[in-house]
Structure 1
Amino acid sequence: MKKVLLTASIVLAAQSLFAQVWFTKTGAVSFFSHTAIEDIKAENNEVVSFIDGAKGEFRFQLLIKGFRFPKASMQDHFNDANYMNSDQFPKAEFKGSIVNTKAVDFKKDGTYKVEVSGAMTMHGVTKNITVPGTITIKGGVPAVNAVFMVKRSDFGIDVPSFSSAKIAQEIEVTVKCQYAPYKS
Protein backbone atom coordinates (compact mmCIF):
# COMPACT_ATOMS: atom_id res chain seq x y z
CA MET A 1 0.00 0.00 0.00
CA LYS A 2 2.85 2.39 0.83
CA LYS A 3 4.41 1.64 -2.55
CA VAL A 4 1.15 2.51 -4.33
CA LEU A 5 0.80 5.78 -2.40
CA LEU A 6 4.44 6.69 -3.09
CA THR A 7 4.01 5.96 -6.81
CA ALA A 8 0.80 8.02 -6.94
CA SER A 9 2.53 10.92 -5.15
CA ILE A 10 5.43 10.85 -7.60
CA VAL A 11 3.09 10.77 -10.60
CA LEU A 12 1.04 13.69 -9.23
CA ALA A 13 4.19 15.68 -8.46
CA ALA A 14 5.56 15.03 -11.95
CA GLN A 15 2.28 16.13 -13.51
CA SER A 16 2.34 19.40 -11.59
CA LEU A 17 5.98 19.98 -12.58
CA PHE A 18 5.13 19.63 -16.25
CA ALA A 19 1.68 21.21 -16.08
CA GLN A 20 1.13 23.90 -18.64
CA VAL A 21 -1.21 26.18 -16.72
CA TRP A 22 -0.80 29.96 -16.71
CA PHE A 23 -2.80 32.66 -14.95
CA THR A 24 -3.30 36.43 -14.83
CA LYS A 25 -5.39 38.87 -12.80
CA THR A 26 -4.23 41.84 -14.86
CA GLY A 27 -5.36 40.96 -18.36
CA ALA A 28 -6.84 43.70 -20.52
CA VAL A 29 -10.08 43.78 -22.48
CA SER A 30 -11.00 46.93 -24.33
CA PHE A 31 -13.80 47.84 -26.68
CA PHE A 32 -14.31 50.45 -29.37
CA SER A 33 -17.58 51.69 -30.87
CA HIS A 34 -17.39 53.94 -33.92
CA THR A 35 -20.28 55.91 -35.37
CA ALA A 36 -20.46 59.12 -37.42
CA ILE A 37 -21.56 60.92 -34.26
CA GLU A 38 -19.22 59.58 -31.59
CA ASP A 39 -16.39 57.17 -30.84
CA ILE A 40 -16.64 55.32 -27.55
CA LYS A 41 -13.80 53.35 -26.02
CA ALA A 42 -13.14 51.79 -22.66
CA GLU A 43 -10.63 49.44 -21.08
CA ASN A 44 -10.71 46.94 -18.23
CA ASN A 45 -7.29 45.95 -16.83
CA GLU A 46 -8.59 43.60 -14.14
CA VAL A 47 -9.38 40.59 -16.30
CA VAL A 48 -8.87 37.21 -14.65
CA SER A 49 -7.82 34.51 -17.06
CA PHE A 50 -6.07 31.18 -17.28
CA ILE A 51 -4.80 28.91 -20.01
CA ASP A 52 -4.35 25.18 -19.66
CA GLY A 53 -1.90 24.44 -22.47
CA ALA A 54 -2.13 20.68 -22.11
CA LYS A 55 -5.90 20.76 -22.64
CA GLY A 56 -6.00 23.89 -24.80
CA GLU A 57 -8.58 25.48 -22.50
CA PHE A 58 -9.12 29.20 -21.93
CA ARG A 59 -11.12 31.05 -19.28
CA PHE A 60 -11.67 34.81 -19.03
CA GLN A 61 -13.76 36.70 -16.51
CA LEU A 62 -14.21 40.40 -15.84
CA LEU A 63 -16.44 42.75 -13.90
CA ILE A 64 -18.46 45.06 -16.13
CA LYS A 65 -17.93 47.94 -13.68
CA GLY A 66 -14.19 47.49 -14.21
CA PHE A 67 -14.33 49.26 -17.59
CA ARG A 68 -12.80 52.75 -17.50
CA PHE A 69 -13.85 55.47 -19.92
CA PRO A 70 -12.27 58.83 -20.80
CA LYS A 71 -15.37 60.58 -19.42
CA ALA A 72 -17.05 59.68 -16.11
CA SER A 73 -20.49 60.30 -17.64
CA MET A 74 -19.85 57.61 -20.27
CA GLN A 75 -18.96 55.15 -17.53
CA ASP A 76 -22.15 55.99 -15.61
CA HIS A 77 -24.33 55.54 -18.72
CA PHE A 78 -22.57 52.29 -19.67
CA ASN A 79 -23.33 50.73 -16.27
CA ASP A 80 -26.92 51.91 -15.86
CA ALA A 81 -30.05 49.86 -16.48
CA ASN A 82 -30.59 51.27 -20.00
CA TYR A 83 -27.29 49.84 -21.26
CA MET A 84 -25.19 47.10 -19.60
CA ASN A 85 -27.23 47.01 -16.38
CA SER A 86 -24.11 45.99 -14.47
CA ASP A 87 -25.94 45.70 -11.14
CA GLN A 88 -28.08 42.87 -12.55
CA PHE A 89 -25.35 41.46 -14.86
CA PRO A 90 -22.09 42.22 -13.00
CA LYS A 91 -19.66 40.10 -15.03
CA ALA A 92 -18.82 38.79 -18.46
CA GLU A 93 -16.97 35.56 -19.09
CA PHE A 94 -15.65 33.28 -21.78
CA LYS A 95 -15.06 29.54 -21.43
CA GLY A 96 -13.55 27.82 -24.41
CA SER A 97 -10.66 26.07 -26.02
CA ILE A 98 -8.13 26.41 -28.79
CA VAL A 99 -9.59 24.80 -31.92
CA ASN A 100 -6.15 24.08 -33.39
CA THR A 101 -4.29 23.15 -30.17
CA LYS A 102 -1.64 21.14 -32.02
CA ALA A 103 -0.55 24.33 -33.82
CA VAL A 104 0.83 25.71 -30.54
CA ASP A 105 4.01 24.44 -28.90
CA PHE A 106 3.77 25.90 -25.40
CA LYS A 107 7.35 24.79 -24.73
CA LYS A 108 8.86 26.63 -27.70
CA ASP A 109 9.17 30.40 -28.11
CA GLY A 110 7.29 31.70 -31.10
CA THR A 111 4.10 33.29 -32.35
CA TYR A 112 1.18 31.02 -33.15
CA LYS A 113 -2.07 31.87 -34.95
CA VAL A 114 -5.02 30.21 -33.25
CA GLU A 115 -8.78 30.00 -33.31
CA VAL A 116 -10.57 29.88 -29.99
CA SER A 117 -14.11 28.60 -29.70
CA GLY A 118 -16.40 28.61 -26.71
CA ALA A 119 -19.24 30.19 -24.78
CA MET A 120 -19.27 33.92 -24.07
CA THR A 121 -21.70 35.11 -21.42
CA MET A 122 -22.56 38.79 -21.19
CA HIS A 123 -25.66 40.70 -20.13
CA GLY A 124 -27.24 37.41 -19.04
CA VAL A 125 -26.94 35.84 -22.50
CA THR A 126 -24.61 32.98 -23.45
CA LYS A 127 -23.58 32.62 -27.07
CA ASN A 128 -21.08 30.32 -28.75
CA ILE A 129 -18.39 32.23 -30.61
CA THR A 130 -15.21 31.44 -32.51
CA VAL A 131 -12.54 34.12 -32.77
CA PRO A 132 -9.04 34.34 -34.24
CA GLY A 133 -6.11 35.21 -32.04
CA THR A 134 -2.39 34.99 -31.50
CA ILE A 135 -0.47 33.25 -28.75
CA THR A 136 3.12 34.39 -28.32
CA ILE A 137 5.40 32.21 -26.20
CA LYS A 138 8.45 33.98 -24.80
CA GLY A 139 10.64 32.37 -22.17
CA GLY A 140 8.11 29.57 -21.86
CA VAL A 141 5.29 31.95 -20.88
CA PRO A 142 2.31 32.80 -23.13
CA ALA A 143 0.75 36.12 -24.06
CA VAL A 144 -2.58 36.28 -25.88
CA ASN A 145 -3.88 38.86 -28.34
CA ALA A 146 -7.23 38.82 -30.11
CA VAL A 147 -9.43 41.35 -31.90
CA PHE A 148 -13.00 40.47 -32.84
CA MET A 149 -16.44 41.99 -33.34
CA VAL A 150 -19.45 41.53 -31.07
CA LYS A 151 -23.01 42.43 -32.06
CA ARG A 152 -24.92 44.14 -29.26
CA SER A 153 -28.13 42.46 -30.37
CA ASP A 154 -26.58 38.98 -29.95
CA PHE A 155 -26.38 39.66 -26.22
CA GLY A 156 -29.67 41.52 -25.79
CA ILE A 157 -27.97 44.88 -25.26
CA ASP A 158 -30.45 47.51 -26.33
CA VAL A 159 -29.96 51.22 -25.92
CA PRO A 160 -32.50 54.03 -25.64
CA SER A 161 -33.58 55.37 -29.04
CA PHE A 162 -32.05 58.80 -28.34
CA SER A 163 -28.61 57.13 -27.99
CA SER A 164 -28.83 54.53 -30.75
CA ALA A 165 -27.04 56.71 -33.35
CA LYS A 166 -24.10 57.16 -30.95
CA ILE A 167 -23.44 53.47 -30.28
CA ALA A 168 -22.39 51.05 -33.03
CA GLN A 169 -24.33 47.84 -33.61
CA GLU A 170 -21.03 45.95 -33.78
CA ILE A 171 -18.39 46.64 -31.15
CA GLU A 172 -14.70 45.87 -31.65
CA VAL A 173 -13.29 43.93 -28.70
CA THR A 174 -9.54 43.60 -28.05
CA VAL A 175 -8.08 41.07 -25.60
CA LYS A 176 -4.46 41.28 -24.38
CA CYS A 177 -3.21 39.05 -21.59
CA GLN A 178 0.29 38.37 -20.32
CA TYR A 179 0.36 35.25 -18.17
CA ALA A 180 2.54 33.84 -15.41
CA PRO A 181 2.89 30.21 -14.35
CA TYR A 182 -0.02 29.16 -12.14
CA LYS A 183 0.93 28.20 -8.61
CA SER A 184 -1.73 26.47 -6.56
Structure 2
Amino acid sequence: MMNTYAAFAASALLLIASPGPVVALVLADGRRGWPLGTLAGGMLSALLLMGLALLALDRALALSPQLIDLGQLLGGLYLAALGITTLRSPPAAQRAQPAPARRFWRALGVGLSNPKDILFFLAFLPAFIRPEQAFAGQAVALALIWAALDFSVLLAYSLAARRLGRSARLAALLGVLPAWVLLGLGLLSFAGAALKLLNGAG
Protein backbone atom coordinates (compact mmCIF):
# COMPACT_ATOMS: atom_id res chain seq x y z
CA MET A 1 0.00 0.00 0.00
CA MET A 2 2.91 2.35 0.65
CA ASN A 3 3.94 2.00 -2.99
CA THR A 4 0.46 3.11 -3.99
CA TYR A 5 0.64 6.16 -1.73
CA ALA A 6 4.11 7.00 -3.06
CA ALA A 7 2.83 6.79 -6.64
CA PHE A 8 -0.15 8.95 -5.69
CA ALA A 9 2.13 11.53 -4.06
CA ALA A 10 4.36 11.71 -7.14
CA SER A 11 1.41 12.06 -9.50
CA ALA A 12 -0.37 14.56 -7.26
CA LEU A 13 2.80 16.64 -6.97
CA LEU A 14 3.01 16.93 -10.76
CA LEU A 15 -0.66 17.84 -11.03
CA ILE A 16 -0.64 20.40 -8.23
CA ALA A 17 2.56 21.96 -9.56
CA SER A 18 0.95 22.28 -12.99
CA PRO A 19 -0.63 25.74 -12.88
CA GLY A 20 -4.38 26.17 -12.94
CA PRO A 21 -6.68 29.03 -11.91
CA VAL A 22 -5.84 28.81 -8.20
CA VAL A 23 -2.09 28.75 -8.90
CA ALA A 24 -2.56 31.82 -11.11
CA LEU A 25 -4.23 33.59 -8.18
CA VAL A 26 -1.44 32.57 -5.82
CA LEU A 27 1.21 33.87 -8.24
CA ALA A 28 -0.62 37.17 -8.62
CA ASP A 29 -1.25 37.63 -4.90
CA GLY A 30 2.25 36.45 -3.99
CA ARG A 31 3.71 39.52 -5.70
CA ARG A 32 1.77 41.70 -3.24
CA GLY A 33 2.55 39.87 0.00
CA TRP A 34 1.70 36.61 1.76
CA PRO A 35 -1.41 35.15 0.05
CA LEU A 36 -2.58 33.12 3.04
CA GLY A 37 -6.27 33.63 2.24
CA THR A 38 -5.72 32.51 -1.34
CA LEU A 39 -3.85 29.42 -0.15
CA ALA A 40 -6.59 28.48 2.31
CA GLY A 41 -9.41 29.00 -0.18
CA GLY A 42 -7.67 27.03 -2.91
CA MET A 43 -6.85 24.13 -0.62
CA LEU A 44 -10.37 23.95 0.81
CA SER A 45 -11.97 23.94 -2.64
CA ALA A 46 -9.74 21.06 -3.77
CA LEU A 47 -10.48 19.02 -0.64
CA LEU A 48 -14.24 19.56 -0.97
CA LEU A 49 -14.25 18.41 -4.60
CA MET A 50 -11.97 15.50 -3.75
CA GLY A 51 -14.34 14.47 -0.94
CA LEU A 52 -17.30 14.42 -3.32
CA ALA A 53 -15.34 12.30 -5.77
CA LEU A 54 -14.29 9.87 -3.02
CA LEU A 55 -17.91 9.48 -1.91
CA ALA A 56 -18.89 8.62 -5.48
CA LEU A 57 -16.06 6.08 -5.71
CA ASP A 58 -17.13 4.53 -2.40
CA ARG A 59 -20.61 3.96 -3.82
CA ALA A 60 -19.15 2.46 -6.99
CA LEU A 61 -16.91 0.15 -4.96
CA ALA A 62 -19.94 -1.03 -2.96
CA LEU A 63 -21.63 -2.08 -6.20
CA SER A 64 -18.68 -3.81 -7.85
CA PRO A 65 -14.87 -3.60 -7.45
CA GLN A 66 -14.54 -3.82 -11.24
CA LEU A 67 -16.24 -0.43 -11.52
CA ILE A 68 -13.06 1.10 -10.07
CA ASP A 69 -10.97 -0.42 -12.89
CA LEU A 70 -13.52 0.69 -15.45
CA GLY A 71 -13.52 4.17 -13.94
CA GLN A 72 -9.74 4.26 -14.18
CA LEU A 73 -9.92 3.19 -17.84
CA LEU A 74 -12.45 5.87 -18.77
CA GLY A 75 -10.73 8.38 -16.52
CA GLY A 76 -7.43 7.83 -18.30
CA LEU A 77 -9.09 8.65 -21.60
CA TYR A 78 -10.67 11.74 -20.05
CA LEU A 79 -7.37 13.02 -18.64
CA ALA A 80 -5.58 12.44 -21.96
CA ALA A 81 -8.35 14.22 -23.87
CA LEU A 82 -8.25 17.08 -21.37
CA GLY A 83 -4.50 17.40 -21.92
CA ILE A 84 -4.90 17.49 -25.71
CA THR A 85 -7.70 20.07 -25.45
CA THR A 86 -5.56 22.23 -23.16
CA LEU A 87 -2.64 22.09 -25.58
CA ARG A 88 -4.88 23.29 -28.39
CA SER A 89 -6.51 26.07 -26.37
CA PRO A 90 -5.19 29.63 -26.13
CA PRO A 91 -3.96 30.74 -22.69
CA ALA A 92 -6.59 32.34 -20.49
CA ALA A 93 -6.26 36.04 -19.84
CA GLN A 94 -5.36 36.94 -16.30
CA ARG A 95 -8.26 38.49 -14.40
CA ALA A 96 -8.19 41.56 -12.18
CA GLN A 97 -7.46 40.85 -8.53
CA PRO A 98 -9.88 41.86 -5.74
CA ALA A 99 -8.99 43.30 -2.37
CA PRO A 100 -6.85 41.11 -0.03
CA ALA A 101 -9.76 40.75 2.44
CA ARG A 102 -11.71 38.82 -0.20
CA ARG A 103 -8.89 36.52 -1.31
CA PHE A 104 -10.11 33.47 0.60
CA TRP A 105 -13.65 33.62 -0.82
CA ARG A 106 -12.40 34.44 -4.29
CA ALA A 107 -9.99 31.47 -4.31
CA LEU A 108 -12.69 29.19 -2.88
CA GLY A 109 -15.13 30.36 -5.54
CA VAL A 110 -12.62 29.91 -8.36
CA GLY A 111 -11.76 26.42 -7.12
CA LEU A 112 -15.40 25.35 -6.86
CA SER A 113 -16.66 27.14 -9.97
CA ASN A 114 -15.55 24.51 -12.46
CA PRO A 115 -17.60 21.27 -12.27
CA LYS A 116 -14.97 19.61 -14.46
CA ASP A 117 -12.77 19.39 -11.37
CA ILE A 118 -15.07 16.74 -9.88
CA LEU A 119 -14.75 14.77 -13.12
CA PHE A 120 -11.01 15.23 -12.87
CA PHE A 121 -10.86 13.69 -9.40
CA LEU A 122 -13.18 10.88 -10.50
CA ALA A 123 -10.78 10.20 -13.36
CA PHE A 124 -7.59 10.52 -11.32
CA LEU A 125 -8.33 8.76 -8.03
CA PRO A 126 -9.43 5.23 -9.13
CA ALA A 127 -5.85 4.35 -10.07
CA PHE A 128 -4.91 4.63 -6.38
CA ILE A 129 -7.87 2.87 -4.76
CA ARG A 130 -7.36 -0.77 -3.81
CA PRO A 131 -10.74 -2.59 -3.62
CA GLU A 132 -9.37 -5.21 -1.23
CA GLN A 133 -8.41 -2.55 1.34
CA ALA A 134 -10.71 -0.59 3.67
CA PHE A 135 -11.95 2.40 1.71
CA ALA A 136 -12.21 4.93 4.56
CA GLY A 137 -8.55 4.61 5.53
CA GLN A 138 -7.46 4.99 1.93
CA ALA A 139 -9.66 8.05 1.43
CA VAL A 140 -8.27 9.80 4.52
CA ALA A 141 -4.68 8.99 3.56
CA LEU A 142 -5.12 10.27 0.00
CA ALA A 143 -6.80 13.46 1.22
CA LEU A 144 -4.02 14.14 3.76
CA ILE A 145 -1.31 13.55 1.16
CA TRP A 146 -3.06 15.87 -1.28
CA ALA A 147 -3.54 18.58 1.37
CA ALA A 148 0.11 18.49 2.45
CA LEU A 149 1.37 18.65 -1.13
CA ASP A 150 -1.17 21.29 -2.10
CA PHE A 151 -0.11 23.60 0.73
CA SER A 152 3.61 23.04 0.09
CA VAL A 153 3.40 23.67 -3.66
CA LEU A 154 1.15 26.72 -3.39
CA LEU A 155 3.40 28.18 -0.71
CA ALA A 156 6.43 27.58 -2.94
CA TYR A 157 4.66 29.35 -5.80
CA SER A 158 3.90 32.34 -3.60
CA LEU A 159 7.56 32.57 -2.55
CA ALA A 160 8.70 32.26 -6.16
CA ALA A 161 6.29 34.99 -7.23
CA ARG A 162 7.82 37.39 -4.71
CA ARG A 163 11.33 36.70 -5.98
CA LEU A 164 10.88 36.22 -9.72
CA GLY A 165 8.15 38.72 -10.52
CA ARG A 166 6.96 38.55 -14.11
CA SER A 167 8.78 36.25 -16.52
CA ALA A 168 7.45 35.69 -20.03
CA ARG A 169 9.51 32.53 -20.50
CA LEU A 170 8.33 31.06 -17.20
CA ALA A 171 4.73 31.98 -18.00
CA ALA A 172 5.00 30.23 -21.37
CA LEU A 173 6.40 27.08 -19.75
CA LEU A 174 3.71 27.06 -17.08
CA GLY A 175 1.11 27.48 -19.80
CA VAL A 176 1.88 24.14 -21.50
CA LEU A 177 3.16 22.05 -18.58
CA PRO A 178 -0.30 21.14 -17.20
CA ALA A 179 -1.42 19.83 -20.58
CA TRP A 180 1.54 17.48 -20.97
CA VAL A 181 1.19 16.23 -17.38
CA LEU A 182 -2.51 15.47 -17.93
CA LEU A 183 -1.81 13.72 -21.22
CA GLY A 184 0.96 11.57 -19.75
CA LEU A 185 -0.95 10.60 -16.61
CA GLY A 186 -4.05 9.87 -18.67
CA LEU A 187 -2.20 7.47 -20.96
CA LEU A 188 -0.52 5.73 -18.00
CA SER A 189 -3.83 5.40 -16.15
CA PHE A 190 -5.57 4.00 -19.23
CA ALA A 191 -2.80 1.46 -19.86
CA GLY A 192 -2.76 0.30 -16.23
CA ALA A 193 -6.53 -0.17 -16.11
CA ALA A 194 -6.59 -1.98 -19.44
CA LEU A 195 -3.99 -4.46 -18.19
CA LYS A 196 -5.94 -5.12 -14.97
CA LEU A 197 -9.19 -5.65 -16.86
CA LEU A 198 -7.51 -7.97 -19.38
CA ASN A 199 -5.85 -9.99 -16.61
CA GLY A 200 -9.16 -10.24 -14.77
CA ALA A 201 -10.91 -11.47 -17.89
CA GLY A 202 -8.18 -13.97 -18.68
**Shorter-chain-normalised TM-score: which range?**
under 0.3
The TM-score, its normalising length taken from structure 2, stands at: 0.24
Q: Which has the higher contact order (CA 8 A, sep 6+)?
A: 2
Which structure has the larger Rg? 1
Judging by fraction of residues, say which structure has more strand.
1
The TM-score, its normalising length taken from structure 1, stands at: 0.26
